[in-house]
Amino acid sequence: MAAKPAPSRPQPRLYLATPAVDNPAPWVASLPGLLATADVAAVLLRLKPSDPRTMISCIKALGPAIQTSGAALLLDGQVELVARSGADGAHLTGIAALSEAMPSLKPDRIAGVGGLSTRHESMAAGEAGADYVLFGEPDAHGQRPSVEAIAERLQWWAELFEPPCVGYAASRAEVDSFVAAGADFILIDDLIWADPRGAATALADIAQAIGQRGAIAEKVKAGEE
């Protein structure tokens, strides 16, 4: 009897991270149109440090612009503000931060984690209940692994573990590599914000690239079977 082929993986969805936001007004005006250009699963809101009341007001102002589009609103850290602001969860950096945040986020909110430098840390995050693991983001010094190393880690995770994996992409070529590696989500930030064509055009271009790369991967897989 022939082996049953493995089920096809869905194409990755986009995970969009903002620059540090202090004035929500321009974002309230621009985000709905931007999010309508592509399949964005979540928005990671990075806030410029301020007092809690100011940050909560900012989150609440941006919430409808993000959440009514169908995207989840996650805070970059700031776990103590999640419930008070109506956010859907938080992104943590490192196992210690994840462990500390879990009691306040679970079971109702999303707890994602990055800053995982080893396979052991990645598996520990999964065992701790992380809703996703992120690979490839810059560290505090702006350093990150090679594209090949990130793709290898994504492929390893996607083949063995159930929680979704996210690849941080700093270029169009990296998007292609991480789609091929089996990433469930592609995290992008300056790749669109710094694009001279404008964020909407850049986002639509990346979404198209994901679709094309996914279609190629399906054809290759079909040929192998």
Strands (DSSP E) found in 130-181 = 132-135, 165-168
pLDDT of residue 6: 47
Bridge-based pairing state of the strands 185-188 and 165-168? parallel
Per-domain residue ranges of the chain: 21-224
* Cβ-contact 76, 17 below 8 angstroms: yes
pLDDT of residue 109: 98
How many degrees, rounded to 5, is the angle at CA 147 between CA 21 and CA 93? Answer: 40
pLDDT of residue 217: 57
Q: Is 145 exposed, middle or buried (0-12, 13-18, 19+ CB in 10 A)?
A: middle
pLDDT of residue 163: 96
User: How does DSSP classify residue 38?
Assistant: S
Nearest Cα to 82, choosing from 115, 60, 49, 54? Answer: 60
pLDDT of residue 68: 95
pLDDT of residue 215: 64
User: How does DSSP classify residue 68?
Assistant: T
pLDDT of residue 10: 78
Regions in the chain scoring below 70 on pLDDT = 1-9, 214-225
pLDDT of residue 30: 96
C-alpha 203/C-alpha 34 separation (Å) is: 8
pLDDT of residue 213: 72
pLDDT of residue 216: 61
What is the pTM for the complete model shown?
A: 0.92
Report phi then psi at 190, rounded to 5: -65, -20
Instruction: Compute how many other C-beta atoms are within 10 angstroms of the C-beta atom of residue 183.
Output: 32
C-alpha 98/C-alpha 82 separation (Å) is: 14
DSSP string, 16-37: EEEEEES--HHHHHHHHHHHTT
Task: Name the CATH superfamily for 21-224.
Answer: Aldolase class I (3.20.20.70)
Nearest Cα to 125, choosing from 168, 138, 117? Answer: 117
pLDDT of residue 4: 34
pLDDT of residue 3: 33
Q: Over the Cα atoms of the chain, what is R_g?
A: 18
C-alpha 165/C-alpha 83 separation (Å) is: 25
Q: How far is CA 68 from the centre of its chain?
A: 18
Nearest Cα to 166, choosing from 44, 51, 34, 67? Answer: 44
